[in-house]
Structure 1
Amino acid sequence: MDVNLLFKIAAVGILVTVIGQVLKHSGREEHAFLVSLAGLIIVLFWIVPYIYDLFDKIKHLFSL
C-alpha cells in the first residue's frame, strides 16, 4: 500500500469534515450528509482494489 493513498484519504476526510461543518451550521444538514456519503464512496473506490488483492493473496496462500 502506498503512503500517498493514506494522505489522499486523510485529505478527503479533512475536506469532508470542513464542508460538512459549514453546511450544518448554515442549516443544510441534508447536503452535509450527502457530502459525507460522497466522501465515503470516493474512499471506498480507492480501497476496494487493495481489499480484493488481500483476499486474492489469502486465497492463493491457502490454495482455495
Structure 2
Amino acid sequence: MCRLLAYRGTPIIMDELLYKPNNSLIHQSFQAREIEEPLNGDGFGVGWYAPEVNYEPVTFVSVNPA
C-alpha cells in the first residue's frame, strides 16, 4: 500500500511527522494488516522544499527495502 503525507506550515523536523504521531506513516507501515512481510520491498522516498537554499524541491529516494 502506498502512503502519502503532506504538510504545509512553519518549518519543522521531518521526525515530527514521520515518527512521533501515534498514527505516523512509520507506525502504519509496520502495523499494516494486509501485508505478509514485515518490510516494504519497494523502497521509499521523501521530498521537501528548502527555499532558502534552492526553489527546486529536494528529493531522496531509495530502492532498498524500507
Pairwise TM-score range, normalised by the shorter structure: 0.3 to 0.5
TM-score by length of 1: 0.34
Higher relative contact order (CA 8 A, sep 6+): 1
Greater share of helix = 1
Greater share of strand = 2
